[in-house]
Each structure stands twice: as structure tokens, then as C-alpha cells.
Structure 1
Amino acid sequence: MKLKRRFKVLIVIGPRPEVIKLAPIFLEFRKHKELNTEILLTGQHRQLTDQAMKDFGLKAKYDLNLMKKGQGLEELSARIFLKFGTILKRIKPDLVIAEGDTTTTAICSICCYYQKIPFAHVEAGLRSFDKFQPFPEEINRMIADIIADLHFAPTNDARENLIASGIDGKGIFVTGNTVIDSLLLLSKKNHKFRDTNLNSIKEGKPLILVTMHRRESFGRPIKEVIAALKELNKEDVQIVYPVHLNPNVKGPVYKSLSGCKNIILTDPLNYLDFINLMKKCSFILTDSGGVQEEAPTFGKPILVLRNVTERPEGVKAGIAKLVGTNRRKILRFSNLLLNNKKFYSSMAKKKGLYGAGDASKKIVKIVKTRFLNSN
């Protein structure tokens, strides 16, 4: 008697944030024997992705290894089209799952459409309503949403965005954000930093965590932020800045901030170090979308170094403020957080804006119900 083939799920991962948000989904899928679940890496941000895969104990079945030095979006997109399209034809998955708003996600969704393979979009429905902020992410996520058969929206706001854009509500599910699953999985009470640079952090002294990497921040915007950090360096604070490897970020940051006595510059941190540094800090300056989701779990105020955000929940809740890259505005709100206890307390509130850490379980249940008529 011929055995029935297991339902084949392919999880596609590009840069590190996708490892963080898709790892708990993969681990949950693997608990179900009727599902044959594998990982494909495109190879975006190779070094950072490999470390995150190791942190979660993951191994990829397929690796496209697409990154090349100085590669532009056009070349990366073309190479994903060719290599991923070929892989799809060979392995014929029953469902492809991708996350977020990267070039990997957008191009893989189009490949699935071309081959009529069901596509599920994790973190669907986020919108800044400005196609150049963030760039190219805003358009990437819209492409993935238009194509997706299943939309896993992290919040009700995201669901409403999908409905407003004409997506059929029958395929939309509010699950929470899987990044909370990962935080709860990896966060430790007594963490020892692997990065030795962090051992010089002093207890009891205000600590500001900084991250900045977006393309729209290159040039003058990042110089404005650097100027603000140099001013903050004069205060009785500690600043930790894990610097993105992109030369448009790393070059100006190290040129201007190396040697500042209260500023610790490091390479990008492994995820375990990063989330435990978030727990330790006083507040965060960031242009990252993921950090806007993670920080509320730890009750950390966020000053968002962007003019618009596709994650308005933190702003609405009063725990995040859009300060853009204006030096004066950054300094104003940073000094309020440092020197005004009432203002700090108004922002430093733990909020479960993005779920309770059970998004992965919900996603697996939805997939099984939809495709296998099973709970």
C-alpha cells in the first residue's frame, strides 16, 4: 500500500529578522508529524543570519547563498527570481511561508504566484502609507500581501489595513507577532554577554541603546543622529550602539563616534545579547521595526528615528515617539527621559501590544485547519 505523502511546508528566510520571527513557527511545525517542514535561506546578510540560526538551533535544507559585495536591489531580485524559481519547480511545496517586508519575501511571493503555489505571509498588513519610508520595504510588503493566500496579521490595525486594501477577510487571521514567541523563548534572567565590549556597562548608570540601519537614513539623516549622540555623550550616561555592517552606516558612525568616552560601538550583536541588552537599557533610539515590537514587552521607552512608522501601536499606547532624525528633537526627548521621572514613567510601561507569545501555535493550527481539515 502506498503511503500518503506528508504535507510539505517550505519556510523562506532572508536576513536575520526573518530568522527571529520564523524560528518559532518552524519549531512549532516540527512538532506535527503530518507536516514535512523545511527551511530555505536566500543568504541575505549572511553573517548575521548564520549566528541567529545557531542561536535557535536551526539548520536549512536549502541555501541559495545569494549575497555578493556591492549587490544592488535589482541584481539581488533577479538572482532570487532565478534561483528560488528553480528550487520551487524541483521540490514542489504545498505551502510557502515568508515573513515581513524584505526583497526575499516580495520576490518569493511572486515566484509562488507564477507557479500557483499557496503563499502565507507572516506579519501581513503593516503600512506606513509612504512608499519611500521605509524603502523598499513598504512596497515589498504590499506585493506580498496582494499575492498571499493566508495573511497572518500581528494586530487588529494590520488587519484593518488589509481589509481597506481589498483583501478578502476570510484569509486574514490576527495572530499576534511571532517575535514575542522568540523573546519568551530566549530571554534569560542571568545572561552573560558573549560580546566582551558589553562587560564594561556600569550598573546604576543610565543606558541608551541605539540601532540605525535603514536606507532612507543614509547620508544627512545619520549625520544628524550622530550629532545628537555626541551631545548626549556629554551627559552622565552610557550609550551602546551595535553598528550595522553596511558601509553607509559603519563609515560615518566610526569616523565620528570612535573614542567618545561614554559610547560603546560594537559589531551587530547576536540576538541573545541584544534582547538582554534591551532588558538592561533605560530607553532605545532606533529606526528598526522589530525593536518597536520587542521593547514594549520589557517596558522600554522608544524614540523612533523615523518620520512615519508602519507599527503605530506603540505610538498610540504612548510608549513610542516619532522623533525622526532631527538633532534637536532627539536631544529634547532624550533629555526628558533622562531627567524627568514623571515623563519617563509615562512611557516606561510594559504592554502586550503584539500578543502573548502564542502566535506560532495559532499559525500552525490555522494551516492545519485550512489544508488538512485538522485541529
Structure 2
Amino acid sequence: MKKIAVVLGTRPEAIKYGPVINALKKDPRFEVFIISTGQHKEMLDDALAVFDIKPDYNLKVMQPGQTLAQITSRITDGLAKLLPQLKPDALTVHGDTGTTLAAALSGFHHHIPVIHIEAGLRSGNVYSPFPEEGNRKLVAQIASLHLAPTPGNAANLIREGIPENRIVITGNTVVDALLWAIEQIPQGDNTLLEALHQDTRKIILASAHRREAWEKIPDIANAIKVIAERPDVRVVIPMHKNPIVRQAFQNTLADMNNVDLIEPLNYLDFCRLMNRADIILSDSSGAEEEGPTLGKPTLILRSLTERPEATHSGSAILVGNSGEQIIHHVCRILDNLSAFKGANVQTDHYGDGLATQRVIGAIANFFGLGPAVQPFYCGCEMRPNNYFVTNAA
């Protein structure tokens, strides 16, 4: 039996890790220790609770106004005390957060093999997204096993000199989590969601939170205000906990009758909201994968992305964070929504619901406990006649 230390600290990590953790815990080949850094607090605990997961250890690093340097220092200090006690055979990290980088460094410091789930995503600009692009590039230099969601992600790693025999293409576990979530029976009543299902207006799910876009969030809010003046539209904005983000939306949109500024939803309710939405407008990395998977026109509030598969296939479009461009693209889709619904904008480029199975298989194979994994592959064909692509200007 191999000991696996699973380190996580944020809500997105919890969601994407959820299926993997539960599968690892059921597998007799592994003993699993779940270590929460507490980089997010309530949001992390709520997401883990959806999957009935409780951390074995909590470093509780979250403090108001903390810097990236402080997050990294507190996590590495906490793991320096914990890892020698646990003596894991491997340490798994996910994605590109401060927790991911600090935990990978800690594994390296203690000569513990690091397994990187959701490896190989690249935007090509080390400062966008910041600090995520830098984090994942640094982790790639440390990891012993790279679990890349897509063939494109694997190609990025190969270009950077990572040996192919250390890369496994798995699909993204966010698709596993999403497909599971939308099949769950709602627990309790959510008045807003029930109302949305009865509302005949076009529902836009909007959000923005990225650090590099903070100064542009007032422009995004103003663009949403213009769009929300249409009588056929209702906009729902689950507000991020960050006070900079919240204040920008509240200052501009609090008095709009057809704009719902709401607290963050639990994961299951958020999936229900995505499934009800007609359009998703967001800078969230999760939305970039979830929206196209659900077949929702997804407008990405960024100028570049590390998840280009959906933009290539026509399932999503980069609109940037210019108010004029946001208004143009959203209204264009609203005015042609029936055409979009009749088109095939759904994509399985990010996964087929079997990523967790491949992740577990790849970890087992890494230790010689199972056969090599058949990699996930979904072609990413360009579709030049797709409305998203040809009318993007």
C-alpha cells in the first residue's frame, strides 16, 4: 500500500480533486492523507462537503490581506513539520494555485515525488494569469508525473523538455465532477434557482474575479449594466468574496431590477445555475471548461487563455475585458440565441467523464501497481464556418 498526501487549499481545487480523492480512498492500493492549507476558508470547506470529504490536517494559513509571499511561506512552514511525520510515498498537487506551488516545493525539499494533476496548461504569458501561469511552469520543473488534461497540454510539456514517459493524458476531472453534480437531486430549495426555471427571459450567468483584471472590473460592471437594460435579459452574478470585486459590482449594479447580486452558491446549486443559463460570461477557469461541456455559449473575459480547445472548436470566445467588446458580443449572441441553440456548440474536448479513472490508473502505474493507462484523446478541429469564429470581430 502506497501513502499518498493530497494537498489542496482552494474551492476550485476541491471541486476538481473531489472525484479523485474519493476514488483514491476506495482503492486498496493507497492510503490517503488529505491536507488542507486553508488558502480558502469557508469556500473550500463547503466544496469539500459536497463530496463528503473532510481534511485529515488543516494548516489554516488564511489571514486577511495576506500576500503571495506570505501564503507560500506559511504553507511550506506547515508542510515542513507535517511531511516528515507522514512520510508519504508521493504528494499530489492540482493546477496552479499558491497551494500548488508551495506544496510542490515542499515535496521537492523532502525528496517526495510530486504528482501534478491538471498539468501542462499554458497561456504563453507568465504574467497572465498571474500568478497561476508562473506557478504551473515552476511545478512542471519539480513534478515526477504530469497528468495533462488534453493532448495540447501534453504537447506544451513536451516542448518544455518534459519526457513523454512522465506524461499521461487523462482528461479533466472537472468534467467528472460536473457530470456527477448535474445528476444530483437538489438538497433543499433555492428560491432563486426555482424562479429562474420559471423565468422566460434570457439568463446570463456572469462573474469576474481575476487579480490581473481588478482594475477593469468597473468597466465589466458597466458593460453588464448596459446589457441588463434590455427587457428580455436577467443577469445573475455570484459575487466573489474579495471586497475589491464585490464593491465594483455593487456600486454599479445594486439598483438594477433585473440583476441578481448573490452570495457564492454551493457547488451543486452553481452547476444547476450553469445548466439553466443561456449565456455564461466569466473569467473563471472553471467556467471555460464547464460552460462548453454543457453546450452553453461561453464568453471569456480575458484576452488570452490556457484552455484554447473550446475557442478553437467554436464553443467559446475570448472577448477581453473592454466594455464595448463585451456589450457587442453578448448582444450579438442574445439576438441570435436560437441559432446558437440549434448549433452544436457543446464540446467534449476537456473530458469524457472518465478522467478520475485515468488519474488513479496513472498513479498506480507510476508505482508499478497497475498497467499503463490508455490516454484520453479528443480532436480539436477548427470549424471556420462556426458563427463564434467567423463573426468574432
TM (norm. structure 1) is 0.95
Q: Indicate yes or no: 2:277 matched with 1:281.
A: yes
From 22, 30, 38, the equivalent of 2:33 is 38
Distance 2:130 2:266 in 1: 25
Distance 1:173 1:355 in 2: 14
In 2, are the aligned partners of 1:320 and 1:347 still within 8 Å (CA)?
no
Identity across the alignment (%): 37
In 2, are the aligned partners of 1:14 and 1:104 still within 8 Å (CA)?
yes
Distance 1:325 1:65 in 2: 34
SS in 1 for 2:346: coil
**Structure 1 residue 271, shift from structure 2 partner:** 0.5
**Structure 1 residue 196, shift from structure 2 partner:** 3.5
SS in 1 for 2:141: helix
**Structure 1 residue 373, shift from structure 2 partner:** 3.3
Distance 2:88 2:343 in 1: 45
From 133, 139, 146, the equivalent of 2:134 is 139
Tell me which residue corresponds to 1:59: 54
From 348, 351, 355, the equivalent of 2:347 is 351
**Structure 1 residue 269, shift from structure 2 partner:** 1.0
Distance 1:356 1:200 in 2: 31
In 2, are the aligned partners of 1:96 and 1:112 still within 8 Å (CA)?
yes
**1:77-96 superposed matches below 5 A:** 77-96=72-91
- The 1:269/1:339 distance shift into structure 2, 3 A limit, reads same
What residue ranges of structure 2 are gaps of 5+ in the alignment? 372-393
Tell me which residue corresponds to 2:318: 322
In 1, are the aligned partners of 2:205 and 2:235 still within 8 Å (CA)?
yes
Tell me which residue corresponds to 1:170: 165
Tell me which residue corresponds to 1:121: 116
Distance 1:189 1:15 in 2: 23
**Structure 1 residue 86, shift from structure 2 partner:** 1.6
Tell me which residue corresponds to 1:332: 328
Q: Indicate yes or no: 2:100 matched with 1:73.
A: no
**1:1-375 superposed matches below 5 A:** 6-188=1-183, 191=186, 194-201=189-196, 202-219=198-215, 221-235=216-230, 236-341=232-337, 344-345=340-341, 349-375=345-371
**Structure 1 residue 65, shift from structure 2 partner:** 0.8
Instruction: Give the residue type in structure 2 aligned to 1:51.
Output: D
SS in 2 for 1:241: strand
**Structure 1 residue 115, shift from structure 2 partner:** 1.1
- Post-superposition CA distance 1:31-51 (Å, at most 9, x none): 211210121100011010111
In 1, are the aligned partners of 2:39 and 2:71 still within 8 Å (CA)?
no
- The 1:306/1:343 distance shift into structure 2, 3 A limit, reads farther
Distance 1:88 1:63 in 2: 13
TM (norm. structure 2) is 0.91
Distance 2:192 2:23 in 1: 35
Distance 2:354 2:188 in 1: 27
Instruction: Give the residue type in structure 2 aligned to 1:30.
Output: K
What residue ranges of structure 1 are gaps of 5+ in the alignment? 1-5
SS in 2 for 1:60: coil
- Post-superposition CA distance 1:54-96 (Å, at most 9, x none): 1110011111011001111111111111111221122110011
Distance 2:188 2:237 in 1: 15
- Post-superposition CA distance 1:152-173 (Å, at most 9, x none): 0000110000001111111000
SS in 2 for 1:218: helix
Instruction: Give the residue type in structure 1 aligned to 2:274.
Output: M
**Structure 1 residue 188, shift from structure 2 partner:** 2.8
Distance 1:47 1:306 in 2: 27
In 2, are the aligned partners of 1:301 and 1:347 still within 8 Å (CA)?
no
